[in-house]
């Protein structure tokens, strides 16, 4: 399942909101029968650190169309 968009405003960060949103996304993926969430994330250190803390890792098999549309993003996968 593709995690299309997730964002927490700068003034609301550090309150666990992102963790709760990500957990809800994983749960929805699980309910839908997905094995993993595919994430195309901006390459900022803060964003990548967040997804890695959530258990995501760089994927060996990026989705070609997404990688071409967002060439500066990093492609990650998080198993649910």
Structure confidence by residue, pLDDT tens digits, 14-50? 999 999 999 999 999 999 999 999 999 988 899 999 9
CA-CA distances (angstroms) from residue 1 to 30, 32, 45, 48, 77? 9, 9, 24, 19, 10
Number of C-beta neighbours around residue 51 at 10 A: 22
How much is the pLDDT for 43?
84
Number of domains in the chain: 1
14 DSSP 8-state letter: T
Residue 37 lies in a domain: yes
How much is the pLDDT for 32?
97
Residue 20 lies in a domain: yes
How much is the pLDDT for 40?
93
CA distance linking residue 30 with residue 37, whole number of Å = 9
Which residue bears the tokens 């593709």?
2
Residue 22 lies in a domain: yes
Its domain, for residue 29, covers 16-79
Q: What is the mean pLDDT of residues 50-66?
A: 94
Backbone angles phi, psi at 16, to 5 degrees: 85, 5
Structure confidence by residue, pLDDT tens digits, 67-77? 999 999 999 99
């Amino acid at each position: 399942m593709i995690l299309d968009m997730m964002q927490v405003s700068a003034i609301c960060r550090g309150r666990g909101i992102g963790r709760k949103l990500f957990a809800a996304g994983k749960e929805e993926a699980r309910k839908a029968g997905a094995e993993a969430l595919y994430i195309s994330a901006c390459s900022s250190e803060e964003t990548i650190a967040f997804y890695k803390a959530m258990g995501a890792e760089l994927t060996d098999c990026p989705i070609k169309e997404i990688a071409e549309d967002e060439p500066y993003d990093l492609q990650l996968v998080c198993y649910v």
